[in-house]
Amino acid sequence: MSEVVKKPIKITETILRDAHQSLIATRMTTEQMLPIVEKLDKVGYHSVECWGGATFDASLRFLKEDPWERLRKFRDGFKNTKLQMLFRGQNILGYRPYADDVVEYFVQKSLSNGIDIIRIFDCMNDLRNLKAAVDAANKEKGHAQVALSYTLGDAYTHDYWIKMAKNVEEMGANSICLKDMAGLLLPYEATELIGKLKKAVKIPIQLHTHYTSGVASMTYLKAVEAGVDVIDTAMSPFALGTSQPATEVMVETFKGTQYDTGFDQKLLAEIADYFRPIRDEALSSGLLNPKNLGVDIKTLLYQVPGGMLSNLTSQLKEQHAEDKYYDVLAEVPRVRKDLGEPPLVTPSSQIVGTQAVFNVIMGERYKMVTKETKAVLSGEYGATVKPFNKEIQKKCIGDKTPITCRPADLLKPELKTIEAEMSQWKEQDEDVLTYALFPQVATDFFKYREAQKTKVDPKTADTKNGAYPV
């Protein structure tokens, strides 16, 4: 009998980023995370995803923390494990396209502060919007991973994904991630698609999915058998629902097979014990909505990611139009088709969702059009896989000529201007980037940081000389 070739499946742990972003709106603090870093570092993960995505904005806006400081603390704590972040291509971690000089500087600073792997994606899968970030990561000797946003539709055939993967490899990416943000990839489809991608390219392939539709663990099983190199999982207290499949479950699934991770379940149990009270507290405070933990098969019908569903419900509530929920869900695929059938992921999911809400509430389609919808139809977000609906485009942007070049080609370098604008707040180089992404939120944070410094601790006051240490 031939010897079975061992091929342990590699795992990226998402508990410090995507898991709590998906379940509790990115509200875990650095203080809650640091005590468990030493144990996480011993597991043997391929990488720990701990930065990027919405963590940057949430740290500043809600937690009054410096995201760069968080990253440096992680880097100090993780001695053996690669740190990974999620990066929105030309949008970095913000919501508009930035000039190349800002993108390059952000990549440089992320790597010098401790990131090893940068996962770069674009909501349109327009590879032109990823090039600057990939080149910058390569220049700094970081690992550039390109994530293709997985979605369904006439245009998204196996040939499409294979062509994209080959282009990504040619672009100089070190690995590819199939990013299934809505949990749309079904188990047997994973067998076929991963099998074909493995034949098409030489660089490693990673699979990222969410449990929203209930099939994710089965999809991982089939993908691993088909040869995928890495999967993304979350420790069980913050797994399932709109998050990822549970780390411990996947480790146990492959135990004793050629894909055995060799991870220590006792160690994983200790890590889970640490996070459980944090989850329970989030449940009792209402931060974790039990609805987010369920399975929503509607995801497969409407292709609406979990985060987008909760967005739609709150928008309808504000308009006192909750009875229109199913009308809006049915309108989403129609708007998506009008806009060239983009994948629904930040920010395209919000753009399509909001426009669908307006179309239904106004009783007439595109009677009211958001500036973001106009920007998509003007080509400002990049090229879509299918052409726009010409009539709708005319109705929304009139005779304006849409752009066809890479949107960032129209942006002048902006780093120097930004630096001049915020110089009074600058305490570290990274502050310039924080301000570039979120000028208002950053300014509020810098003011808060300043105020913290001038607070006096009465215990250290020098009453004799009447001087207060500042």
For 74-94, the DSSP string reads HHHH-SSSEEEEEE-GGGTTS
The pair of structure tokens assigned to 462 is 């020098």
Which pLDDT belongs to residue 467?
Answer: 42
Q: What is the pLDDT of residues 110-148, one digit of tens each?
A: 999 999 999 999 999 999 999 999 999 999 999 999 999
Nearest Cα neighbor of 308 from 151, 136, 181 is 181
Q: What is the pLDDT of residues 337-346, one digit of tens each?
A: 999 999 998 8
Q: What is the Cα–Cα distance from 347 to 358, expressed in whole angstroms?
A: 17
Structural domains in the chain, CATH included, are 8-288 (3.20.20.70), 303-403 (1.10.472.90)
Out of 37-51, 108-122, 277-291, 303-317, which region has the weakest mean confidence (pLDDT)? 303-317
For the cut 50, the answer to whether the pLDDT of residue 306 exceeds it is yes
Please give the C-alpha separations between residue 348 and each of 20, 171, 353, 372, in angstroms, as whole numbers. Answer: 22, 24, 8, 9
- The mean per-residue pLDDT over the stretch 59-73 comes to 97
| Residue 395 CB neighbour total at 10 angstroms | 15
Torsional sign, CA 378, 383, 387, 389: negative
- The mean per-residue pLDDT over the stretch 362-376 comes to 97
- The mean per-residue pLDDT over the stretch 443-456 comes to 90
For the cut 80, the answer to whether the pLDDT of residue 463 exceeds it is no
Percent of residues in the chain assigned helix, strand, coil, to nearest 5:
50, 10, 40
For the cut 60, the answer to whether the pLDDT of residue 236 exceeds it is yes
For the cut 50, the answer to whether the pLDDT of residue 470 exceeds it is no
Give the percent of the chain with pLDDT over 70. Answer: 96
Provide the β-strand partners of residue 47.
12, 82
**Mean pLDDT over all residues of the chain?**
94
Whole-angstrom Cα Rg for the chain: 23
- The mean per-residue pLDDT over the stretch 346-366 comes to 94
For the cut 70, the answer to whether the pLDDT of residue 407 exceeds it is yes
For the cut 70, the answer to whether the pLDDT of residue 390 exceeds it is yes
Which pLDDT belongs to residue 457?
Answer: 60
